[in-house]
């Protein structure tokens, strides 16, 4: 069959358009592995399809064979581009050095030169060219050399795809599997063509077979994020590791993840290939930011029915040229360790007998609250307490009874105040109460209620029953900007001294100095 053939021409134009469409998508992702080679491959296929379509449309050219001849620009470019793409996908770009690089890039140029200058030497067609024939079945030595060279590159590319498939895992294995399927199409087409079973009589159906392969690439690109995922996890991850393993590419997309990491992060395999931020969208922003950062060490807190704490160690993955390929993140569950640390921290900040906050921790909290009260001009009250005649209780009823008296005071003060108030034991029978958002008068009323409650409470220790009383000094945060926690404690201590001096078992207040005018 000879041109014109509008059906063939339209089909080829559609095929070329598909290649250009896929190439346009890849053009926006040129920074990822293999994109440049695949872009070259698809551009060459588009050129092959479109110029061949113009030939079948019988559009006049400078000479009868013009449109058919220039299709050869795509014919000689497709195999090398495919081979380079396979090297990049297999992370073997270091192979592209002399003499292999010279062979791959120089041979197509020499073949093209000999093709277009054939009338002067006959090395390509050897005088066997026929006019108005849509494909070459027989020609000279350069033609057959190019056929052997092209099929050798395609064969090696296929072998590399299979090798990459066998050495990969997870989503990357699925992607390479689809690439191998796509590569089988040109091979099947070649077998059909050699057997003389041509579905397109009179035409070369090779560009169609490669275009179908390109459509498969497009499907993998859009459905499985081909090229979005850098092949940094080609070897199978150890699924039974106690630690979670997460591999991200240079664009922070998930390459691979083992079962432990899936369990710890509560993610499914459907998230593979997606940005880490999207995969972790069910977690808090703080957690997502941690995984997106370039920090080498960070901790993650996962809230749920049971809070889980993870320690993450991130290691950059680089190629031989020190280019960043991605990151390997190892996740270690430190929930038990965190629990022990919290217990130790609690013990370090609490009084061992009463469980009240100790003096050191109270001072830290009080300084923080005082700063906040002064910044926002809020009330802040402080109460110092001292149990009356505590030594007499110990001497009369024993130290166990004294401990019961201290525990009772802690219970009364804790139950009689808000959760934001902080009750502390300063030492011995001395205690303090910090009351944010509380005025001096309100604090005095609360202090009086606590004092009265303790006075009326009968304390039991063994066979002994007794009552104790307490003296209190109350002060507030002054309006002066230079008021300090030490100054407040000094005022509260003076007020407490007055309560003791006036007969004990009472509440005394001492106001801060007014702001000078």
Residues 112/73, Cβ–Cβ less than 8 Å: yes
Dist CA 48 CA 65 (whole Å) = 15
Dist CA 476 CA 484 (whole Å) = 11
Sequence-ordered strand ranges (E) for 51-168 = none
Dist CA 324 CA 330 (whole Å) = 18
Active site amino acids? 429
Reported residue count of the chain is 517
Dist CA 408 CA 396 (whole Å) = 18
Q: Provide the token pair at 19.
A: 């290649």
Q: Cβ–Cβ contacts within 10 Å for residue 196, how many?
A: 6
SS3 category, 384: strand
Nearest to 314 by CA among 333, 290, 330: 330
Residues 253/276, Cβ–Cβ less than 8 Å: yes
Task: State the Cα torsion 13-15-19-20 to the nearest 10°.
Answer: 20
Nearest to 432 by CA among 416, 420, 421: 421
Dist CA 380 CA 420 (whole Å) = 12
DSSP H or E stretch at residue 410: helix 399-415
Provide the pairing of β-strand 422-427 with 507-509: unpaired
Dist CA 232 CA 247 (whole Å) = 8
Residues 331/316, Cβ–Cβ less than 8 Å: no
Nearest to 280 by CA among 326, 248, 315: 248
Q: Show the CA angle centred on residue 425, arms to residues 423 and 429, nearest 5°.
A: 125
């Amino acid at each position: 069959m000879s041109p014109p053939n509008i059906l063939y021409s339209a089909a080829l134009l559609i095929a070329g358009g598909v290649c250009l469409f896929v190439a346009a998508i890849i053009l926006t992702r040129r920074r990822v592995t293999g994109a440049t080679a695949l872009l070259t491959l698809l551009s060459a296929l588009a050129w092959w399809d479109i110029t061949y379509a113009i030939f079948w449309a019988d559009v006049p050219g400078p000479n009868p064979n013009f449109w058919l001849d220039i299709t050869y620009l795509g014919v000689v470019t497709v195999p090398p581009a495919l081979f380079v793409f396979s090297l990049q996908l297999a992370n073997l770009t270091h192979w592209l050095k002399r003499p292999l690089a010279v062979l791959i890039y120089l041979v197509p140029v020499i073949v093209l030169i000999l093709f277009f200058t054939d009338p002067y030497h006959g090395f390509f067609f050897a005088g066997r060219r026929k006019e108005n024939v849509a494909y070459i079945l027989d020609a000279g030595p350069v033609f057959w050399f190019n056929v052997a060279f092209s099929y050798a590159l395609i064969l090696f590319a296929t072998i590399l795809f299979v090798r990459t498939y066998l050495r990969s895992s997870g989503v990357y294995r699925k992607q390479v599997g689809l690439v191998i399927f796509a590569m089988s199409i040109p091979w099947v087409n070649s077998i059909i063509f050699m057997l003389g079973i041509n579905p397109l009589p009179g035409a070369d159906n090779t560009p169609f077979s490669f275009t179908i392969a390109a459509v498969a690439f497009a499907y993998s690109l859009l459905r499985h994020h081909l090229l979005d995922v850098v092949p940094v996890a080609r070897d199978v991850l150890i699924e039974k590791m106690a630690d979670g393993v997460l591999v991200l590419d240079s664009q922070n997309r998930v390459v691979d993840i083992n079962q432990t990491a899936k369990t710890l992060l509560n993610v499914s395999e459907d998230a593979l290939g997606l940005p880490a931020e999207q995969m972790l969208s069910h977690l808090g922003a703080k957690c997502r930011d941690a995984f997106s950062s370039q920090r080498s060490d960070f901790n993650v807190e996962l809230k749920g029915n049971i809070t889980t704490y993870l320690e993450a160690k991130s290691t950059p993955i680089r190629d031989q040229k020190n280019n960043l390929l991605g990151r390997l993140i190892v996740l270690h569950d430190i929930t038990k360790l965190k629990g022990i640390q919290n217990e130790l921290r609690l013990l370090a900040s609490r009084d061992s007998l009463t469980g009240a906050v100790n003096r050191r921790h109270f001072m830290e909290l009080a300084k923080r609250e005082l700063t906040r009260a002064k910044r926002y001009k809020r009330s802040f009250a402080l109460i110092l307490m001292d149990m009356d005649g505590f030594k007499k209780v110990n001497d009369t009823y024993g130290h166990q009874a004294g401990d019961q008296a201290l525990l009772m005071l802690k219970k009364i003060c804790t139950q009689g105040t808000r959760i934001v108030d902080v009750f502390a034991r300063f030492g011995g029978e001395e205690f303090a109460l910090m009351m944010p958002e509380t005025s001096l008068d309100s604090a005095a009323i609360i202090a009086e209620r606590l004092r009265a409650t303790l006075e009326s409470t009968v304390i039991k220790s063994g066979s002994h029953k007794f009552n104790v009383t307490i003296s209190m000094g109350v002060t507030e945060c002054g309006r002066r900007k230079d008021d300090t926690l030490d100054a407040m404690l000094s005022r509260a201590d003076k007020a407490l001294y007055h309560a003791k001096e006036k007969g004990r078992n009472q509440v005394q207040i001492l106001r801060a100095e007014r702001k000078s005018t």
